[in-house]
Amino acid sequence: EDKVVQSPLSLVVHEGDTVTLNCSYEVTNFRSLLWYKQEKKAPTFLFMLTSSGIEKKSGRLSSILDKKELFSILNITATQTGDSAVYLCAVNSWGKLQFGAGTQVVVTP
Amino acid sequence: NAGVTQTPKFQVLKTGQSMTLQCAQDMNHEYMSWYRQDPGMGLRLIHYSVGAGITDQGEVPNGYNVSRSTTEDFPLRLLSAAPSQTSVYFCASSYGEGLGYTFGSGTRLTVV
C-alpha cells in the first residue's frame, strides 16, 4: 500500500530558528514530490522535486529529494511568524497526489 | 486567468440531501482532482480525471460521483449527504502527470 509519512506532526520554534521537516514515502510509479504550505485556506505550491540530490531554493526555504532512501526534507532558515502554517508533502504517482498528514509549524515571536 | 474556481465556499446540508460542488479551471489543464481535508488526516483523494470523458476513483470515493464532460469543469456530486461527509473539499488541476497541482479555495461543507 502506498504511503507518505511526515514528521514531526507539529513543532513550535522561536523566530530566527531553523526548521527541518521530513517526508518519507513508499509509492509505485513515483513521478515527483511536492511541498505545499497551507495557512487556513488552500494549499499553495512551494517546490516540486523530481531528481535526487538537487536542492531547490526559494528565499529562506530549500528542499532536497533522496530517491534511493525515499525521503525529502524541507528546510526553513531564519524563521518568521509568517512561516507559521501546515506544511504538506505530496507524492505524484500515476498523475494523482498522495498527501502526508502534514507538519504544523508554529513560530513564536 | 482565474485559476481554479470552486463554488460554493460554504454549504450546510441536511442528512439525505444531495448537492453538487462546482469546480472550473481556465488553464487548459488535463488533470483534475477532488480532495477532502479532515483534521489530522491531510488531504485524501476522492476522484480524479486525466482528461474529458475519463474519471477514476481515489482513496475515498464512496458517496461521491463525478463526471468530466469538458476540459474546464469537474463537478463533484454528493448523492445522499451524511454527517461523515462534513469536511473541507478542494478541487485541483494540473497540466499533466508528474507536474504540480493548483488548488481552488475550497468548499466548507457541513452535514447536519
Is the per-residue pLDDT at A52 higher than 80?
yes
As a whole-number percent, the residues of chain B with pLDDT over 70 amount to 98
| SS3 labels along A27-67 | CCCEEEEEEEEECCCCCEEEEEECCCCCCEEECCEEEEEEC
**Mean pLDDT rounded to a whole number for chain A:** 94
Q: What distance in Å separates residue A99's CA from the closest CA in chain B?
A: 6
In chain B, which residues have their Cβ closer than 8 Å to the Cβ of A102? 42
Confidence of residue A95 (pLDDT cuts 50, 70, 90): confident
Cell of B86: 462534513
User: Which residue in A91, A81, A78 sits closest to A36, CA to CA?
Assistant: A91
User: Helices marked H in B1-107 — which ranges?
Assistant: none
Question: Is the model more confident about A97 or about A94?
Answer: A97
Q: What is the pLDDT of residue B100?
A: 82
Residue A9's region, left for phi above 0, alpha for psi from -120 to 50, else beta, is alpha
The answer to whether B74 faces chain A, any CB pair under 8 Å, is: no
The answer to whether B48 faces chain A, any CB pair under 8 Å, is: yes
Give CA–CA dist B38/B40, Å, rounded.
6
Measure the CA dihedral A37/A38/A42/A45, to 10°: 0
Q: What is the pLDDT of residue B52?
A: 94
In chain B, which residues have their Cβ closer than 8 Å to the Cβ of A41? 105-106
Q: What is the pLDDT of residue A2?
A: 86
User: Which residue in B102, B111, B110, B109 sits closest to B24, CA to CA?
Assistant: B102
Is the per-residue pLDDT at B97 higher than 80?
no
Q: What is the pLDDT of residue B39?
A: 84
Give yes or no for a cis peptide into B39 (omega within 30° of 0).
no
Task: DSSP letter for B95, please.
Answer: S
Give CA–CA dist B58/B35, Å, rounded.
9
Q: What is the Cα Rg of chain B in Å? A: 13
Whether the Cβ atoms of residue B104 and residue A102 lie closer than 8 Å to each other: no
CB contact under 8 A, A95 and B103: no
The answer to whether B95 faces chain A, any CB pair under 8 Å, is: no
Is the per-residue pLDDT at B37 higher than 90?
yes
The answer to whether B49 faces chain A, any CB pair under 8 Å, is: no
Give CA–CA dist B102/B4, Å, rounded.
7
pLDDT tens-digit readout, B42-89: 899 999 999 999 999 999 999 999 999 999 999 999 999 999 999 999
Handedness of CA B25, B27, B29, B34 (dihedral sign): negative
Beta bridge partners of B91: B34
Is the per-residue pLDDT at A92 higher than 80?
yes
